[in-house]
């Protein structure tokens, strides 16, 4: 069953325009300068998009997430071979950040994917391998500090070739966890994303927004990974219906400023999300918050299952005065559900009631709901000491409660 929520209901109040003005005027000026320099959408184009989606706005339907999870989760079948339940690749992980790609890759395995690959830098590979022998780790990415200018083109081609030779095996690509902002690394990843589009491989793009105790007028400590790359180069995903963006509050704010050339308007949250997804050519956006909102530019779904009040150090969103919940890093397992939904729909299997729904919408709903349920279970057991690993350990039980293995 679906339940409607009015525009003025108390769902998912993620922050207001006033919250975003907590940053200093210096930061605000720099952000506006960056947006203008990158060429944001004009007011006229924004109004056109808003007019096109106005009829669709006003309400968001609470998704029947458990029904969707049961419909798209493939049954365990003794006749299937390794790889048929999903092969996921994570593009991310540099010398500073090794935890995020590990969380993304291991959570995919925990919910039932058969194989999980991580393509990372050589410095990150030994650390990620030490976390778990279950992951297939490829130390192929390079950062600027280790590459001479005269070798950049040849090394870039080598990196591209190493990833591309695996591409046809992957059911979904996760871009961003622990990627950092190294220029050479981002150029390489851009080419990988372009090739994934040509191969019709679904792409889930995430970020890792963090402030390391810096003052509000400092921007040197902000890292955004995959969403930083996409926000500055929308052509990488624009018009690609198999792309999913999973921004948190701060990342969503930057996307709205870039695409719609305005501030986030909570009173028009549904319409604005519709406009944003439509403005990026129909990509699916999973806006993380108290309630997750999901849109592909045609519809808006809400997932409001209670998760966990626990907040984890390093994931605070200081600029907006809000914090991202502890399960923020884990939504990359959306990739598995997107691949499952796509496979089930293309094979004309499962429940006909979901047959006309975009598989990226289905995957996002399933991923959001499962994560929230796992976070709730972990918090019941661990309370204030709940960590990301505790939530990962509850993913399997959460899925089993909804969709028991035969």
Show binding-site residues.
178, 248-254, 288-292, 307-317
- List of residues 6+ apart from 192 with CB closer than 8 A: 91, 160, 163, 164, 173, 175
Assign residue 224 a region (left: φ > 0; alpha: ψ between -120 and 50; beta: otherwise): alpha
d(CA 120, CA 92): 5
Q: Which residues pair with 311 in a beta bridge?
A: 325
Binding-site residue ranges for (6S)-NADPHX: 178, 248-254, 317
Collapse the DSSP code of 17 into the 3-class scheme (helix H, G, I; strand E, B; otherwise coil) and give the result: helix
- List of residues 6+ apart from 124 with CB closer than 8 A: 93, 94, 95, 97, 98, 101, 139, 178
Residue pair 252/266 in contact (Cβ under 8 Å)? The answer is: no
d(CA 276, CA 259): 7
d(CA 355, CA 260): 31
User: For the sheet containing 87-91, what is the strand order?
Assistant: 4-5, 60-62, 300-303, 292-295, 284-287, 243-245, 203-205, 172-175, 87-91, 115-121, 136-141
- List of residues 6+ apart from 254 with CB closer than 8 A: 31, 224, 227, 231, 247
Binding-site residue ranges for ATP: 288-292, 307-316
- Residue 184: what are its φ and ψ, rounded to 5°? -65, -40
Q: Quote the tokens at residue 202.
A: 């679904």
d(CA 167, CA 75): 25
Give the DSSP H/E element, type plus range, for residue 19: helix 17-20
The dihedral sign for the CA sequence 375, 376, 381, 385: positive
Count of other CB atoms within 10 angstroms of residue 148 = 8
Count of other CB atoms within 10 angstroms of residue 388 = 22
d(CA 379, CA 371): 12
């Amino acid at each position: 069953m679906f339940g409607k929520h009015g525009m003025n209901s108390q769902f998912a109040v993620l922050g207001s325009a006033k919250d975003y003005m907590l940053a200093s005027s210096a930061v605000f000026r720099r952000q506006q300068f960056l947006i203008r320099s990158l060429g944001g959408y004009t007011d006229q184009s924004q109004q056109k998009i808003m007019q096109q989606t106005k009829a669709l706005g006003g309400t968001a339907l609470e998704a029947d997430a458990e029904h969707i999870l049961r419909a798209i989760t493939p049954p365990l079948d003794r006749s299937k071979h390794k790889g048929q339940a999903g092969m996921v690749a994570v593009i991310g992980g540099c010398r500073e950040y090794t935890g995020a790609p590990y969380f993304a890759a291991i959570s995919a395995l925990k919910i039932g994917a058969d194989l999980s690959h991580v393509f990372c830098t050589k410095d990150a590979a030994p650390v990620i391998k030490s976390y778990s022998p279950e992951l297939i780790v490829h130390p192929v990415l390079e950062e600027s500090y280790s590459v001479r200018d005269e070798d950049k083109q040849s090394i870039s081609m080598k990196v591209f070739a190493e990833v591309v030779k695996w591409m046809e095996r992957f059911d979904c690509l996760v871009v961003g966890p622990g990627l950092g902002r190294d220029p050479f690394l981002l150029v390489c990843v851009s080419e990988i994303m372009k090739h994934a589009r040509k191969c019709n491989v679904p792409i889930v793009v995430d970020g890792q927004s963090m402030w390391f105790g810096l003052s509000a007028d400092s921007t040197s400590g902000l890292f955004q990974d995959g969403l930083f790359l996409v926000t500055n180069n929308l052509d990488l995903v624009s018009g690609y219906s198999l792309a999913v963006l999973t921004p948190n509050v701060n990342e969503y704010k930057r996307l709205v400023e870039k695409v719609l050339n305005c501030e986030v308007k909570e009173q028009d949250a549904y319409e604005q999300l519709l406009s944003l997804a439509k403005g990026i050519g129909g990509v699916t956006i999973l806006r993380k918050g108290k309630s997750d909102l999901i849109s592909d530019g045609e519809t808006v779904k809400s997932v409001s299952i209670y998760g966990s009040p626990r907040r984890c150090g390093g994931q605070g969103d200081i600029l907006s005065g809000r914090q991202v919940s502890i399960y923020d890093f884990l939504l990359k397992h959306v990739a598995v559900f997107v691949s499952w939904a796509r496979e089930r729909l293309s094979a004309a299997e499962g429940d006909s009631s979901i047959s006309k729904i975009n598989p990226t919408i289905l995957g996002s709903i399933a991923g959001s709901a499962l994560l929230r349920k796992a976070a709730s279970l972990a918090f019941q057991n661990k309370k204030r000491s709940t960590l990301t690993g505790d939530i990962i350990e509850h993913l399997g039980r959460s899925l089993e409660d909804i969709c028991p293995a035969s």
